[in-house]
Structure 1
C-alpha cells in the first residue's frame, strides 16, 4: 500500500475570506479552499473556520500533515503564536493564541506570521521573486504593508516592524488612518484611491471602479493612479538608498491595476534614478490570492526542516 504523501498547510486569515492551501514539501499547491472569515464572531470562530476548511482539504486530498503555517492581519508575535493588535473589524482577535489552538486541534506544529511577511515569503518561495536574496515586498490593499527579505531570510527588526514602508512619512501632508501625516498609505492604498478620487470629482467609487474609469480615459482617475504609482516609486527609491535592495514585488488588490501603476512607477524611477545607478526590478506579485497562504506554508516547511536537522 502506498503511503500518503507528506504535506504542509498554509492558512491566510483575512478580514473577508480565509484561504487554505495544501502543499507538497516543495510548496507546489495540491489543493485550495476559500471560506468566509467569521471576523465578527471572535478568534475561536475564525480559527475554527480555517480548521474546518483544512479538514475538508485533507478529506478530499489525503496526505500526512506535517505542519501548518498561518498568516494573519494585524500585529502578531510570531514566537508565542498570538495576535497582539488587530483592527476593529476583528472581534476578540487581539491576544488570541492561534498556534496553540491549531496545534491542539491537529496535533502538528503550527507557526504564525503577519500576513504581509507571509505574502513576501510566498513570493520569494514560489512567486515573482523566487530565489532572490534581497527583496522589499509591498502590499497595496485597504492599507499599505511592507516586508523585507535580506540575505535570504525575512528581516523583522528588533521590534518586528521592519519593512513597514506604508507608514513612512514624506509623501505630502494628508492625514493617515494611523494618525500620522504624509504616509505612503495616504496615496497608494485602496482606501486612499477612493478618497482622492472623491476629492477630485465628488463621486464615491471603489478603487476597482476608479481603475475601470482610468482605463476608460477618465482624467481624474488617471491622475489618482499616477500619484499612487509615483508615491510607490519614491518609496522604492528610499529603500534602494538605505538598503541597496534592488528587487521589489508589489501585491494587494490595488496592484491588479498594474497597467495603470507601472508606467507612473517607471517614469519616476527614470526621472530620479538611484545614485548607484544599479538596475531595479519592480515586479507584480505572481501568486495572487495564494501568496499569503503559500508563504505561511513556506514558514512551516522551513521551521520543520530546522527541527529535523537539529
Structure 2
C-alpha cells in the first residue's frame, strides 16, 4: 500500500469540495478526526483550481500533523461516477467541473489512492460510520441545503442504484407545481431547500432574506417565516413517508443548513406523521447530523478506508443515542 508524508501515525484524508467552502480532515483508521482545515472553493476558476485548493488543504494538515497518508476520499456536489472517480454532472456554479477526473488528479499529486463520492453519499457514510446513525443498517440520508440531496444505506451498505441516482429524494415530484432548478416541477426541493425557503418567504412578504435569517425571524414571532418552515417540515415528513412506504426504511438523518432549524421543522414533521403514520406502523426515527459540517469529509475518509481495508471503518464508539422519534 502506498503512503506519503512524514514517518508517524497512519491517517486517511477526507475532502468536501463544496460550492462555497472546501473542508479537509485527517482521520485515524477508526475515523477519529485529528485535524481539520477549510478554504474558500474557487468554483468559478475551474476544476483544476478546485482540486489544487483541496490538495493545498491536505498538505497544510500534513505539515502540522506529521503522519503517513494512506489514501484520500473526496465528496463532491453533483452526479459522479464513483468507479471512475470523475464528475459527470455539476451545477452552473462550478466551472469546468463536469468531466473532471478528480480521483486521478489527487492520486497523481499525492501518490496515494483516491476515491470520489457524491457529497450526500459521503455525508451518509460519515453519519453511519461515526455519527448520528452509527451501526444502523437501513437509513435515508437527507441534506437540506441550497438544494435537497438524498442517499440510501440499505443492508449495511450504500445503495447507489443502477445509474447512481438512488435516494435522490429532493427531486421526487408531488409537492405542488412550483418549478425546480432541475427543470421539473413540484419537487421536494421547491419547498424544503434553503433556496426555496428564501423564495417562499419573498412571495409572502416581498422581502428577500437568507434561510437562516428567516429562521431567526420565525423564532421572534414572524408568522410568515414560521409558515414557510412549517410547509418545509410537512414536505420533509411526506418524503419520509414515501421512503418508508417504498423501502420500509424508517430511520433518517438530516443535514444541511435548513436542517439546523430542526426546532422549527420538527412540530410540522410530528403533526404530519401523526396524521398519517407509515403503513408498517413502525415509528419513524429522525436524527439531526452529529458530525455537522465535517460529515461529508469524514464520510469521504470512510470510503477511502473501506476501499483500502484500513483498520475498522465500521461503527465507532459514537453509537445512536437520543434522537427525535416521531
**TM-score band, normalised by the shorter chain?**
over 0.9
Distance 1:287 1:118 in 2: 12
Q: Deviation string for 1:185-212 (max 9, x for gaps)?
A: 0100000000100111111111111101
Partner Cα separation in structure 2 for residue 242 and residue 141 of structure 1: 24
Query: Is structure 2 residue 193 aligned with structure 1 residue 189?
Result: yes
Q: 3-state SS of the aligned residue for 1:89? A: coil
Write the distance in 2 (CA, Å) between the matches of 1:209 and 1:68.
36
3-state secondary structure, aligned to 2:183 = coil
Q: Does 1:304 align with 2:312?
A: no
Q: Secondary structure at the match of 2:309?
A: helix
For 1:136, the equivalent position in structure 2 comes to 140
1:166 corresponds to: 170
Q: TM-score, normalised by structure 1?
A: 0.97
In structure 1, what is the Cα distance between the partners aligned to 2:92 and 2:166? 23
Which residue is equivalent to 2:63? 59
Within a 5 Å distance, the mapping from 1:103-122 to structure 2 comes to 103-122=107-126
* Equivalent residue for 1:101, pick from 105, 125, 130: 105
Is contact 2:7–2:66 with CA below 8 Å preserved after alignment? Answer: no
Alignment counterpart, residue 68 of structure 1, candidates 72, 76, 80: 72
Residues 1:201 and 2:208 are matched in the alignment = no
Per-residue deviation at 1:3?
5.5
Give the distance between the partners of 1:246 and 1:28, measured in 2 at CA.
Answer: 28
CA distance, structure 1, for counterparts of residue 45 and residue 181 of structure 2: 25
Does the 8 Å CA contact 2:15/2:74 hold for their aligned counterparts?
A: yes
Q: Specify which of 203, 222, 229 is matched with residue 225 of structure 1.
A: 229
Q: Which residue of 2 aligns with 1:175?
A: 179
Structure 1 position 176, deviation (Å) = 0.9
Task: Specify which of 41, 45, 51 is matched with residue 49 of structure 2.
Answer: 45
Partners of 1:30 and 1:268 in 2: how far apart?
A: 41
Is residue 212 from structure 1 mapped to residue 245 from structure 2 by the alignment?
Answer: no
Provide Cα deviations, 1:38-91, integer angstroms capped at 9, x if missing partner.
Answer: 111111111111111101100100111110000000111101111111111111
Aligned pairs, number = 307
Report the counterpart of residue 253 of structure 1 in structure 2.
257
Query: Any stretches of 5+ residues in structure 1 without a counterpart?
Result: none
1:244 to 230, 243, 248: 248
